[in-house]
Chains A and B, each alone.
Chain A
């Protein structure tokens, strides 16, 4: 005899989209139940953004320490540092635990009931939950929110297991590999590849495209490319992987059909993620799809009444902050408010070193969209703060319409530019023109001055260049 529970809103998935929707729904007084099979926080908090940033930070600090151990121009002299990778992972796990626990506390505070277990959809209003412990529950709900997220794509010739890991495995290493081969030069592969390089591994990257970070333009990726080369990461662009054996390593075929092997004691496959749309009975709803994603409207409604989808399941870009924003929209729509998910821009950050930020349209995208645009970049080489941080690589670039100077895009590459995403996105959401940013006092000395200077330069009168 299964237990029957009735609620107004049932959220499947406790990642950034699902937990935000549930908290907001709870705040609005909607009886809400959230089902999560693993840990609250989802990919982002437990096996994605947060742990990777922790590892990247640790790697960065280790590299700085090594940098000082040499002949530091800053005059700092330290003994040669060493790394206890197990402690690094424990430290990272501590952060993840704290955040995941925090999400649980927030959900409790909002009055959301959390059930740990795997959901199986029976129909658009009924979901069976098999908890890890205890008996199965049958949920009846008025609204069903699908927030199941995504999972790493597996390559058939490089199945996960043993030394072949996904990003999840790469974020919890028990030991450091001596030679790591990263398959895929997208942001996940490069972020982790660079971190491992800093931690001391020899790193080679295999990418089928002819360039790294294929989503970004070459001007933006050039500083990253320079940094990869400088740090000794070996790039094999235009190459495809054929397989792996522990003796020879990763078999690679180049564009000219040469075959060679890259010795490796660990292989990170980071060739993308796919929405998690199977395995929990969603097929039975026969929802309209948009390619591999569930098709949703501006309010995140699927083709079935009362069934909603958000986050990685419901389209690109697969980014936590997009899922969170959608989760809020859905909760408020269910609460009877008029809401739509229609941001002017969704920022995207790549935590390589240097970091890359893209908000809105790049010059090429603006042109392709039929806008007559001007763009201008301000290099960090001309920024005082960047010099004091030994971070003069990179630039801030702005793209604006030529006719009314409305800003349609910002891009930046450089150390620490991730934090500029807030200013970029706000200016676009507020409909700022170049003159608005140019006329705003930006604190000196900060990297943010480059933002103002880029706008000034687009207007033809930058001061410091």
Chain B
């Protein structure tokens, strides 16, 4: 395996690992604050217990997210020194701001976790709100850097170096808005559904358990609201990509030919050699309609660019399909949940709906991973869109196999233990017999 491939796999696994914890760091604080808010409003002990358990889960996830995020900030330089040499002075600012958002999250999480008996209820709840705010802001800032890689801005290229640098324009790059909204909603949907899935699973055995019922309602409200909004943000993102990164869109859709009235492909296996995507269900003019809101719009195909400037459409198309499918399922379940909760309360806690929620539990996290495959592999061969190739950015240091194996083992172990701890925390079924819900 070449060093470039090793570096890419290593970076990809760092991100794949970190993003699960980062997403939880954005979503979990919102859940725990809502539970504590419900406790302060109703005085029911079940909500206090829920807030404490969610907070402990947040603590473990946040700790692993914090250290794996630190690893990433260093690995950017260790694996991609040319990239950092070029871009540090252009897009470093959001990282600095993210540092402060992250500080906010850590400080107030410390107060929240260890301060139940030490600060007033109001300060405690506000600390939780600050944790949630810090979590969302750090995500939003970090995504700005990724947006810049997709739509570089704020500099002029001169002799291979960036000059005339405007850090604010770089930070406010065109892709930032749609990516930040998409990622934030994804974090809420993924966390909400993952947590709701766990409690729905338990409720199928212990139908009346108030703890799991309370947890399910809060988690599904957050996850469901985000899942229903996500298609709107997805539409915004797709239309942006269609204009600014048409090659990525072509890879996402398995579109090889440049044509007007391009079809939307569901499924299918892109064949880069023959430049076709067989076995797909094609909806005529669907892609042109979705990407440009015009059924006759021209969609660029992969064939329009030289082979060495094309991403591999196979993983990108597949990951895109997975992401959209997961999102659709979650949005559908969220709609059903809202209807049931509104019209037929008992059916909400009935077995069919609980089964649907449990099955949707992992889909949000799966969609997040798939979405990152789309945006990262879809940008290849560029590390900075049309500015720097990934192969130009990689470190000259050899022997990357060793750290890769080393970190993979560490992360594997950490992942397993973190999951085991969360299972213990979330899967217990404390009972609150005295309270009527």
Please indicate whether A and B come from the same complex rather than being unrelated chains. Answer: no
Residues on A lying within 8 angstroms of B by beta carbon are none
Residues on B lying within 8 angstroms of A by beta carbon are none
